[in-house]
Structure formats: structure tokens, C-alpha cells
Amino acid sequence: MTDYCMLIGGERVPAEGGRTLPIMNPYTGEQVGTLPDASATDVDAAVAAARTAFDTVWSRTPGQARAELMLRLAAIYERRAGHLGDLESTDNGKLVSETRNQARFAARQLRFFAGYADKLYGRTIPMDNPDLFDYTRREPVGVAALITAWNSPMQLLANKLAPALAAGCTVVIKPSEHASMTTLELADMVQEAGFPDGVVNIVTGGVTCGAALTGHRGLDRISFTGSVPTGQAIMRAAAETLVPVTLELGGKSPNIVFEDADLDRAVIGALAGIFSAGGQTCIAGSRLLVQRSVYDTMVERVGARAGRIRLGDPFAPGTQMGPVANEPQQARIEAAIAAGVDAGARMVQGGPVGDDPALQRGLFVRPTVFADVDNHADLARREIFGPVLSIIPFETEEDAVALANDSEFGLASGIWTRDLSRAHRVAARLDAGTTWVNTYRVSGAQAPFGGTKKSGHGRERGEEALDEYLRTKNVMIDLAPTLADPFPLEEN
Ligand code: NAD
């Protein structure tokens, strides 16, 4: 059992009144620790500490010095990747192979953005009046609140923390109450790296803590990853404070298989798209659109392969899919499957976990595949955030684009084709922040990521991410030897 503390102004502190929430392991069902359940007073203290650190230290710290601290933190992430991965898998049930890689990805993000910290150039701007010398400065916005979801806490946090620190912002981080351990471990890591007190603050808890933070008047930027309803609540609160908001929300991403695709590759891409991480990823390719002439083959092959995915202990080397991360999420997934069946959808793979002894104690949901799904049915419209695939047939390229874009989400999309012209043509027409061609669910620190429509706005990763944490100041200097006087004094 580990009883974690928060990090506020360099101090390791419990929540006001000592309130805590349990940390549960979704595979064993056991409690493995507690996390502080922060109040509005705790949040006030964290925002105040971030403000003081911004005003007195961090905004005056040269880019090279910020970069050096970030590189030290990256090295610590790498050194501790095994331990961090173990903690994350204990917290959210994801395969340890994936969570360890996410720790390494956090290191990569920090290194990528550290490179920008001393290269935040402004511009000189030629003016119509040659006596005016005009230039811009790119300045940090100030204090940023970084709020993350439970499915990939380390990776989601790195998407925000690395550009924020590089830009010169101080931060108050709030992870999900369902998976806070690796974020709370960060407290030790930033102290070991030598960050000044108050640059990184960490508060934990549920809705009370989240709402107190995102409604706080002391912020300059909110960056949120989570569900649409919470994103909407945050924007409503931000309408009062006028704090700008970056939103990384949900998806119902189309993965489109054309008849000219390499079908072996497309089957792998369809499975990876939806069943990696048990479908608990925002970018899950949860709608598989398949051209009619290869439709039956794809349904048969994807269904058969889905049925052979090995579920089990996320720490066991042979396991291909772990349990669902928490009880409320398992209940939501099972309800969506039951509603699909009730609505008459054709289930080609799935069903109860049965009596497999390895699956009796975790929160398991079998990989589930529905075929012939109507794109207007709930199964094709609502984000399930679990291992549930809806396969939808289409006739022509035009139909595929129309079906893909007929969604309130616009996060990711995939195209499987050997036709180069078609790949570019369709990529340009898909209303989504990311389009993969002949691959799915790959990412890199350099490549910008984000959504359209209800999947959110703003970009993370890549150079674009810096824009979320910087603002442009214009400086104009009159070089003329005299200044025209609009109110000349009359000669007596
Ligand atoms: P959630 O919205 O329930 O919670 C996200 C975070 O917001 C948590 O830290 C939570 O404590 C906090 N929160 C809850 N209520 C709040 C409030 N009123 N004000 C402020 N904060 C509040 O989402 P979740 O269940 O943790 O995550 C799943 C969702 O996240 C899915 O919809 C998924 O698609 C989305 N997601 C998106 C991305 C992306 O990059 N686009 C990545 C991962 C997950």
C-alpha cells in the first residue's frame, strides 16, 4: 500500500482534512494505495504556488536552463520506465509492454520540446512606414492547468507538460482519480531533476478538484483530455473566466478499407485500431468501413482473429489484452454491447467471458465485433471506449467519405489502399485531425495531434503544441528623429 501526497510549491502535502480516495488494481480487484482527494482550498494553494514560481523564477529562467532541466527529467523517465510502467499497469490494467513504452514516449516528448525552449523566436515585421521598427516576442502565457484521463496518464501528461515547460509556463496537473499513480510519482522526479519549487504542482481527486481547478480565475490556459461532457462543462466554466481552453476529447474514428488494399495488412490494422489497449483509446478505429467486394472476407477474418486475442494478466508476457481499467467503464461497455444486441445488430464475435479461470477476477470484456451496422445506429455513433468494433459496408469512394464524415467526432481516421492517388484524395477529404494511410495508431513527438468537431480543438505534439502555451507580443519602436505632434502649441 502506498499513500501518496500531492506536490504544491515544492512541498509534499496531503489533501485538506486528510481526505483520500482508494487506488484500485483492476486485475486483482485489490486496493493498492490511496491518493489525496483535494479540495478547492488545496487547488487555490497549487495555483498560487504556480503563479509565484512563474512570476519570480520560471518566466526569467533562460530557455537553455529550462531545456537542461527537461532533459534531466527525460533521463529520469527513461531510467524509471520499468517501475513507472508497472505502476501504470497496476492502476489501469493496460499491458505492461505498452505502459513502459509510454514512459519512454514521455522522455521522447521532453527531449523533443527541450530543443525548442531556447528557440522561441519572434519575427521582425516590415512596416509601411520605414521609421517604424516592429517585432514580436513569443511569451509564455503563464500558469497552465493540465488535466488528463485515466487511459494513458503518462503519455497524455507528456503531451501537455513538455510544450508547457518549454514555453516557460508553470503548471498545475490533475490526473484522473482512476489512474493517478504515475503522475504522483512525478513529484519525486521533478524534485530529483532540480526544477524550482512551484514550477510543477500536482493535485489529485475527482470532480470537485477538477471543477475547482478549471473554474479558477488564476489560470492563463487550460489543457484538458477527457470526455465530451466534461469538456463542455470546462468550456462553460471558462466562459466566466475567459481562460483559453485546449480540448482533446473522444472519437468514433473511421478505418476505411478499399477493395484494392493489401487485406493481410488491413486485417492487422483493423485489429490494432480497435483492440489495442482494449479499445480504451480516444483514437480507436471503432468504425471499420469496408468496400462491398471485400466486405465478407474482412468480416470473417477480423471476427476470427478478434476471437483469438489472448486476454489475461497485464503483467504476463503472453497477454495481448488486459482488463478494462475500472468498474464504471466496464459497466458502460457492457451496456453498449447489450443495447447493440437489443437493437438487432449482428454480433460476429464477443459474448460473456465464460469460465476461463484466468479471467475470473479482472474486469474483462471480450473483443466484440458487430457487422452490418447502420452508421446511424448508436453502435456507430456513440464512443464506447472499449473493445467493440462496428463494421459498416460501403459501395464507392464517395460513399466511404460521406459515411466517415457523418459523425459528430473528428479525431482520427485510417485509409487502406494501394492506390496512391486515392490515398491523398481521400486523406484531404476526411474531417479528422489525423489520417493514417496503410497503418493505424502510430504517433510521434513531432507529429501534431488533435481533433475537429466534438473531438475538440487545439493541437498537441509537434511544433503546433507550443502555440497553446505561448502568446505573441508586438513591440513597435519609432526610429524617426522627431515625433509628429497632433496638438502643436500656438505661437503667441
Ligand atoms: P472524464 O471526462 O470523465 O475525466 C477526465 C478528467 O477530468 C479526469 O481527471 C477527471 O477527474 C476530470 N474531471 C471530471 N469532471 C470534471 C469537471 N467537472 N471539471 C474538471 N475536471 C473534471 O474522462 P475519462 O473517463 O477520464 O476519459 C475517457 C475520455 O477521454 C474518453 O472520451 C476518451 O476519448 C477521452 N480521451 C481523449 C484523448 C485525446 O487525446 N483526444 C485521449 C485519451 C482519452
Domains of the chain: 2-249+455-476 (3.40.605.10), 254-437 (3.40.309.10)
From residue 450, how far is each of 28, 85, 249, 329, 410 by CA, in Å?
A: 34, 25, 9, 23, 9
Alpha-carbon distance 273 to 267, whole Å? 10
Burial (CB count within 10 angstroms: exposed 0-12, middle 13-18, buried 19+), residue 55: middle
Per-residue pLDDT for 492 more than 80? no
Point out which residues pair with 236 in neighbouring strands: none
Q: Whose CA is nearest to atom 19 of ligand 1?
A: 211
Which ligand 1 atom sits closest to the C-alpha of 176? 9
Q: Are 326 and 178 in contact (CB under 8 A)?
A: yes
What is the per-residue pLDDT across 379-412, written as a single tens digit (0 to 9) for each? 999 999 999 999 999 999 999 999 999 999 999 9
pLDDT band at 491; cut points 50, 70, 90? confident
- CA 148 to ligand 1 center in whole angstroms: 6
Return the pLDDT at 236.
96
Return the pLDDT at 81.
98
pLDDT band at 353; cut points 50, 70, 90? confident
Ligand 1 site residues, Cβ closer than 6 angstroms? 147-151, 156, 174-177, 206-207, 210-211, 214, 225-227, 230, 233-234, 248-251, 282, 383, 385, 411, 451, 456
From residue 52, how far is each of 14, 170, 423 by CA, in Å?
A: 21, 9, 50
Which ligand 1 atom sits closest to the C-alpha of 214? 20
Q: For a ligand 1 pocket test, name from 43, 109, 151, 159 the mutation site with the most ligand atoms within 8 angstroms of its C-beta.
A: 151
Residues contacting 242, CB < 8 A, separation 6+: none
Annotated catalytic residues are 248
What is the per-residue pLDDT across 293-303, written as a single tens digit (0 to 9) for each? 999 999 999 99
What is the per-residue pLDDT across 264-291, written as a single tens digit (0 to 9) for each? 999 999 999 999 999 999 999 999 999 9
Q: Whose CA is nearest to atom 10 of ligand 1?
A: 176
Residue identified by cell 492547468 is 145
Return the pLDDT at 356.
82
Q: Whose CA is nearest to atom 14 of ligand 1?
A: 207
pLDDT band at 121; cut points 50, 70, 90? very high
What is the per-residue pLDDT across 142-188, written as a single tens digit (0 to 9) for each? 999 999 999 999 999 999 999 999 999 999 999 999 999 999 999 99
Q: Which of 411, 398, 413 is nearest to 287 (CA)?
A: 413
Residues contacting 297, CB < 8 A, separation 6+: 263
